[in-house]
């Protein structure tokens, strides 16, 4: 399915790169990838044979590493770009829907809203997946109208300067209690694990997660990168927690509107627009829509995921169903130590 685009009109900006320079750059990035890959430390993979450690973070060798290099070498941000950044399984799908609905709220009515028939991941594509595509026309970034809504799992410190400098685009970062992230991730990735491989046990997943060996991990380094970035440039990075969004969705969505430059007017508030957005994007609503129950999401030619897998329980604290007391103590201790002095805390 093609990425949903609100309008075919594009900004009056020149193409990102000419065909000539495009092929030179592609070759350079391919070379960089081929030279780098064999020298990287390897760790056990959750759905691939192994992950590789690149500049401190664990990535899938064929997809995430390649995509990261593509973003570093080729991506040209626009000052109006809006990025949703997250560690996987932290609330990406939910935030995609909320940002899309907030930014486009004057464009669509709630009765026939695109999110009722198009999955959040198609409304708000992954930048990281874009570059993996042989057929880039699926996500023709040049033709996206502004503001482009793009999602990333890339750690903050690995982003190119063009994305992180103070002049340009904005980031919304969503994080979540690592215990819920671990459980959500373990259940999700076991569904994607090739059928000929035995499932990963919770004990093994737990060990890997604690060692930081998980997609875009270590979890704590990922979170801290954006946390520190948000302290340095709060006008550029809005740091949100899944748990706060669950507790006070109206407050957080209003903050989101302010931060993104789409503040809700008093009239909109009195008409209940914020409530409508929260309802539209709620787990209860999105998870029961046909598009999110039966369609699949094609991230790349090798990565096709049923949309329903992005909606499991959508609860805070489901880790209690799965983790032993020892696991909880160890994970909480690691989290405490890693975040010590940062000012960032997760509820237990």
Q: How far is the CB of 164 from ligand PAP (least distance, A)?
A: 21
Strands (E) across 67-162 are located at 82-86, 149-152
Residues 37-96 that bind ligand PAP (CB under 6 A): 86, 88-94
Distance (Å, rounded) from C-alpha 173 to C-alpha 153?
A: 10
Per-residue x/- track, 223-262, ligand PAP (CB under 6 A) = ----------------------------------------
Q: Which residue has the tokens 């994970």?
A: 331
Q: Which stretch binds ligand PAP (CB under 6 A): 102-110, 165-173, 250-258, 311-319?
A: 311-319
In this chain, which stretch among 111-119, 136-144, 279-287, 334-342 interacts with ligand PAP, using CB under 6 A?
279-287
Q: Which listed residue (113, 153, 215, 222) is catalytic? A: 153
Of residues 29 and 227, the one with the C-beta less far from ligand PAP: 227
Q: Closer to ligand PAP by CB, 45 or 74: give it.
A: 45
- Rg, Å, the chain Cα set: 20
Q: Indicate whether 286 belongs to the interface with ligand PAP (CB under 6 A).
A: yes
CB of 240 to ligand PAP, least distance (A): 12
What are 240's two structure tokens?
Answer: 């949100």
Q: Is 193 in the site for ligand PAP (CB under 6 A)?
A: no
| Neighbouring C-beta atoms of residue 234, cutoff 10 Å | 11
In angstroms, what CA-CA distances link 58 with 144, 185, 287? 30, 15, 30
For ligand PAP, the closer of residues 81 and 180 by Cβ is 180
Least distance from ligand PAP to the Cβ atom of residue 27, Å? 32
Q: 32, 312, 330, 338: which one contacts ligand PAP (CB under 6 A)?
A: 312
156, two tokens: 């903050």
| Spatial contact of 71 and 154, defined as CB atoms under 8 Å apart | yes
- Residue 85 vs residues 5, 159, 165, 336, 338: alpha-carbon distances, Å: 20, 11, 16, 23, 20
Helices within 131-260 (DSSP H only): 161-164, 178-192, 202-210, 219-232, 242-247, 249-260
Select from 29-37, 142-150, 160-168, 278-286 the region that touches ligand PAP (CB under 6 A): 278-286
Question: Should residue 297 be labelled a site residue for ligand PAP when binding is judged by CB under 6 A?
Answer: no
Smallest separation (angstroms) from ligand PAP to the CB of 310 = 5
In the complex, least distance from residue 53 CB atom to ligand PAP, rounded to whole angstroms: 20
Q: Answer yes or no whether residue 308 interacts with ligand PAP by CB under 6 A.
A: no
Contact 319, 183 (CB under 8 A): yes
Task: Tell me whether residue 210 or residue 277 sits nearer to ligand PAP (CB atom).
Answer: 277
Residues near 173 by beta carbon (within 8 Å), at least 6 away in sequence: 84, 85, 86, 226, 227, 230, 237, 238, 239, 240
Angle at 327 between CA 325 and CA 328, to 5 degrees: 65
Give the residue, chosen from 180, 254, 256, 335, that forms a contact with ligand PAP under the rule CB under 6 A: 180
Q: Which of 110, 283 has the CB closer to ligand PAP?
A: 283
Active site residue 309: no
Query: From the centroid of its chain, how far is CA 108?
Result: 24
CA dihedral 27, 31, 33, 34 (to 10 degrees): 130
Among 5-13, 17-25, 277-285, 336-344, the segment contacting ligand PAP (CB under 6 A): 277-285
184 binds ligand PAP (CB under 6 A): yes
Alpha-carbon distance of 127 to 76, in angstroms, equals 11
Mark 315-344 with x for binding to ligand PAP (rule: CB under 6 A) and - for no binding: ---x--------------------------
Cα distance between residue 30 and residue 40, in whole Å: 16
What is the binding site for ligand PAP (CB under 6 A)?
86, 88-94, 180, 184, 281-283, 286, 310-314, 318
> Which residues are the active-site residues?
153
């Amino acid at each position: 399915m093609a990425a949903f685009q609100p309008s075919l009109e594009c900004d009056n900006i020149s193409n990102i790169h000419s065909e000539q320079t495009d092929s030179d750059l592609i070759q350079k990035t391919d070379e960089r990838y081929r030279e780098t890959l064999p020298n990287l430390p390897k760790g056990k993979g959750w759905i691939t044979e192994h992950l590789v450690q690149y500049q401190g973070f664990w990535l899938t060798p064929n997809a995430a590493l390649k995509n990261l290099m593509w973003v570093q070498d080729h991506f040209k941000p626009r000052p109006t770009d809006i990025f949703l950044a997250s560690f996987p399984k932290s609330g990406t799908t939910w935030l995609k829907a909320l940002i899309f609905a907030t930014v486009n709220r004057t464009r669509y009515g709630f009765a026939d809203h695109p999110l009722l028939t198009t999955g959040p991941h198609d409304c708000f594509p992954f930048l990281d997946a874009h570059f993996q595509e042989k057929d880039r026309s699926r996500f023709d970034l040049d033709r996206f109208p502004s503001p482009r809504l793009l999602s990333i799992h890339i750690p903050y410190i690995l982003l190119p300067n063009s994305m992180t400098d103070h002049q340009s685009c904005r980031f919304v970062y969503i994080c979540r209690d690592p215990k819920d992230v671990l459980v959500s991730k373990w259940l999700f990735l076991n569904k994607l694990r090739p059928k000929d491989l035995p499932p990963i046990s919770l004990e093994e997943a737990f060990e890997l997660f604690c060692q930081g060996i998980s997609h875009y991990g270590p979890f704590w380094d990922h979170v801290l990168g954006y946390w520190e970035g948000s302290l340095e440039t709060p006008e550029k990075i809005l740091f949100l927690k899944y748990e706060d969004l669950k507790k006070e969705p109206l407050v957080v969505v209003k903050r989101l509107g302010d931060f993104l430059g789409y503040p809700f007017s008093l009239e909109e508030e009195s008409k209940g627009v914020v409530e409508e957005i929260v309802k539209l994007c709620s787990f209860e609503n999105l998870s029961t829509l046909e598009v999110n129950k039966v369609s699949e999401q094609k991230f790349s030619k090798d990565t096709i995921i049923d949309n329903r897998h992005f909606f499991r329980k959508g609860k805070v604290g489901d880790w209690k169903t799965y983790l032993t007391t020892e696991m909880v103590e160890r994970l909480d201790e690691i989290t405490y130590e890693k975040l010590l002095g940062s000012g960032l805390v997760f509820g237990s």
